[in-house]
Amino acid sequence: MRLLLISSSLVHGHGYLDHAAAELREFVGAARRVLFVPFAQSDRDGYTARVRERLGALDLAVDGLHASAEPAAALAGAAAVFVGGGNTFLLLAELQRRGLLAPLRARVEAGAAYIGSSAGTNLAGPTIGTTNDMPIVWPADPRALGLLPFNLNPHYLDPDPRSTHKGETREVRIREFHEHNPQPVLGLREPAMLRREGVHLHLRGEAGARLFRRGAEPVELAPGADLAGLLRGP
């Protein structure tokens, strides 16, 4: 299984996907077409056009899954799939409504390269229970693709010691998640990325991550960390 999971497509000081461009192009390899899944946003034509322009600069052609007359067949024939960011609840609900969650999972398990950004990264875990998004729609079920045995929290933010904000931090929210759920959670800072190649799993990019396990203190992870042990499950 091949996964490239990006915390965010937009990072301070960079244009759209600029920080991940070299990694993305190398990851896709010989593939020349990418099937884009735009369901995390409502303007699917506009979103696809933006991705088509950006990936075109990497010599990649982009097809929008929403525009396909036979989306399941489009997934079955895809060499690379990019699931974009936006609202994770909307993304999952649309995939469920269209009956495309299982075909997407099957294609990735069969060898297609899976690229996720933000909501698309959330989708790779067992559930979307650690997304930062508001539930603007309700999916039929919170279970996601399950391509990894742990949940993800893209855009992970550390507490700002100078802030006067007294609301819950990301760490507090993840601890609340662990009161009811057993799977680990990986908090991906911007602009971190996670890359899986079969049994190998590494933290990529210029930022680290924090690993949360139920009943344990968080563990700080530096860029380049080998995370293959997480693939064995909780």
Question: What would the DSSP string read from start to end of 171-186?
Answer: HHHHHHHHTT--S-EE
Amino acid in the structure at residue 180: H
In the sheet where 219-221 sits, what is the strand order?
Answer: 151-154, 185-188, 209-212, 219-221
User: From the candidates 9, 117, 155, 178, which is the catalytic residue?
Assistant: 155
Rounded to the nearest 5°, which phi and psi values hold at 77? -100, 5
User: From the candidates 133, 160, 202, 226, which is the catalytic residue?
Assistant: 133
Nearest to 115 by CA among 55, 46, 57: 55
User: From the candidates 9, 118, 180, 200, which is the catalytic residue?
Assistant: 118
Q: Look at the block and give the residue holding tokens 């950006």.
A: 54
Active site residue 118: yes
Q: What is the DSSP letter of 78?
A: -
Active site residue 178: no
SS3 230: helix
As a whole number of angstroms, the distance between CA 174 and CA 157 comes to 12
As a whole number of angstroms, the distance between CA 234 and CA 223 comes to 22
How are beta strands 200-204 and 151-154 bridged, if at all?
A: unpaired
Q: Strands of 55-198 (E only): list them.
A: 61-64, 80-83, 113-117, 151-154, 185-188, 193-197
As a whole number of angstroms, the distance between CA 208 and CA 224 comes to 9
Q: What is the DSSP letter of 113?
A: E
Residues tagged active-site: 118, 133, 155
